């Protein structure tokens, strides 16, 4: 007969950790999307002038995220910044997301055929009008699947914030495992919660993309 020490309160504790995970993901994606959109346009439209920016973003893409968390959290203490660990997590994840979204946006902008842009200019559109009404709509549709995958990736990467003291879903599951000593059960439940969150995001993204296409 199956028996467990896992209680309803343990499940609620995991859900609280999941809520922290969703908050971290939301703030990081907001920061990463805004910054990545700006940086991506700069990289696509001003490739030479934005070369130093590309080098900086390469660092954030290349250095493991865990190292970035530890270094930034240590730097915060050294400099004396009075910000919470949650804020540190949002900033690091946001910059990390921006580094990747920059390349997604850049590739989307460069995917717009030059003949399309030349045709829009021949119709009398200014450079900014061409960018707003022609380039960005096409580029965003090209970039959207990559952005959605980035959201799902950041959601999983939030598990690394446990190393700077944030109790998100994975850390919450470890606390429960330490108490009841049933790792298989607890981790399966935590994995199921991750799956449900990812499934909801993926389904919402697919529905948005489908509606986007229907409005063409």
Q: Give residues with Cβ within 8 angstroms of 174, minimum separation 6.
A: 162
Q: Is residue 1 part of a domain?
A: no
Q: What is the pLDDT of residue 106?
A: 93
Q: Say what the pLDDT of residue 209 is.
A: 83
- Assess if residue 3 is contained within a domain: no
Structural contact between residues 10 and 180, judged by C-beta atoms closer than 8 angstroms: yes
Residue 27 near residue 202, CB atoms below 8 Å: no
Question: What local confidence, expressed as pLDDT, does residue 161 receive?
Answer: 92
> What's the pLDDT score for residue 169?
94
Low pLDDT (below 70) residues in the chain? 1-2, 214-216
In a domain, 65, yes or no: yes
Domain assignment present for 78: yes
pLDDT at 82: 85
Q: Which letter does DSSP use for residue 131 in this model?
A: I
Sign of CA dihedral 78, 80, 81, 87: positive
Task: Check residue 2 and give its pLDDT.
Answer: 64
Is residue 33 in a domain?
A: yes
The residues, ordered by sequence, that sit 6+ positions from 98 with a Cβ below 8 Å of its Cβ are 31, 32, 33, 35, 36, 39, 57, 60
- Number of domains making up the chain: 1
Residue 158 has a pLDDT of: 94
Amino acid 213: pLDDT: 72
**pLDDT value of residue 1:** 56
Count the neighbouring beta carbons within 10 Å of the beta carbon of residue 109: 21
Round to whole Å and give the CA distance between 101 and 146. 8
pLDDT digit string (tens) for 88-132? 999 999 999 999 999 999 999 988 888 877 787 777 778 788 888
Alpha helices per DSSP H over the chain? 8-45, 51-62, 65-79, 85-110, 114-122, 127-130, 136-157, 169-180, 183-214
Residue 2 lies in a domain: no
CATH of the domain at 142: 1.10.3720.10
Residues spanned by the domain of 41: 8-214
- Using alpha carbons, list the distances in angstroms from residue 76 to 15, 157, 168, 212: 29, 21, 21, 42
Residue at 177 is within a domain:
yes
Q: Is residue 29 part of a domain?
A: yes
Whole-angstrom distance, CA of residue 131 vs CA of residue 122: 14
CB 69, CB 92: distance < 8 Å: yes
């Amino acid at each position: 007969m199956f028996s467990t020490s896992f209680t309803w309160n343990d499940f609620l504790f995991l859900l609280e950790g999941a809520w922290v995970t969703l908050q971290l993901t939301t703030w990081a994606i907001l920061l990463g999307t805004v910054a990545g959109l700006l940086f991506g346009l700069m990289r696509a439209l001003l490739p030479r002038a934005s070369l130093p920016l590309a080098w900086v973003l390469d660092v954030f893409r290349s250095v493991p995220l865990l190292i970035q968390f530890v270094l930034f959290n240590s730097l915060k203490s050294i400099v004396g910044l009075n910000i919470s660990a949650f804020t540190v997590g949002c900033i690091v994840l946001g910059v990390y997301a921006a580094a990747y979204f920059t390349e997604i946006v850049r590739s989307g902008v460069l995917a717009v055929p030059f003949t399309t842009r030349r045709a829009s200019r021949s119709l009398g559109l200014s450079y900014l009008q061409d960018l707003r009404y022609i380039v960005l709509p096409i580029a965003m549709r090209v970039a959207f699947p990559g952005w959605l995958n980035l959201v799902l990736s950041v959601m999983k990467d939030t598990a690394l914030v446990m190393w700077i003291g944030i109790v998100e879903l994975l850390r919450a599951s470890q606390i429960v495992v330490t108490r009841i000593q049933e790792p298989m059960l607890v981790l399966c439940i935590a994995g199921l919660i991750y799956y449900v969150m990812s499934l909801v995001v993926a389904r919402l993204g697919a529905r948005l993309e489908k509606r986007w296409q229907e409005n063409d």
